[in-house]
Amino acid sequence: MGRRRLSREIALQALYAADVSHTPAAEAFAIVTRREGDGADAETLFFARELAFGTLERIEELDGLISQRARNWALNRMAAVDRNVIRLAAYELLARPETPVGVIIDEAIEIVRKYSAEEATRFVNGILDALKSLRLAPKPAKKNVRKKAPEP
């Protein structure tokens, strides 16, 4: 498993712990990262921490954006794993413009496949597809058009 995937899984576990047990973010992250032997080096943990804390810092904003796009699904009715994967991916879409949209969605789907029900992949994919519009489209480069000098 790659570092980024492991970081996302650690972040998900911390988000899940904070969500279902109402544990403060720092404590939830410490509990999740206390395990030995999960292959998480300092760089992996740094990225996981940034994802988890960044998501939690913007959770109200993210939940609002998700709720607007999750037709007929209240956040509190979603499975906790699915809800937190969607939050995590929404955060990445907004805060990590260097990560391609397709990578964020593919990673989220693979994590859901691992930690949730197989049927959840379509549900999560549908919401993330609606959320991908959060990523600002790059502005077209201005053409350097020179005006012709007036003829004498």
Question: Is residue 146 very low, low, confident or very high in pLDDT (cuts 50, 70, 90)?
Answer: low
Q: Which pLDDT tens digit goes with each residue over 9-39?
A: 999 999 999 999 999 999 999 999 987 456 6
DSSP label at 71? T
* Helix%, strand%, coil% for the chain, nearest 5: 70, 0, 30
- What value does the mean pLDDT of the chain take? 88
Instruction: Give the sign of the dihedral formed by CA 30, CA 15, CA 136, CA 129.
Output: positive
| Domains by residue range for the chain, with CATH | 3-134 (1.10.940.10)
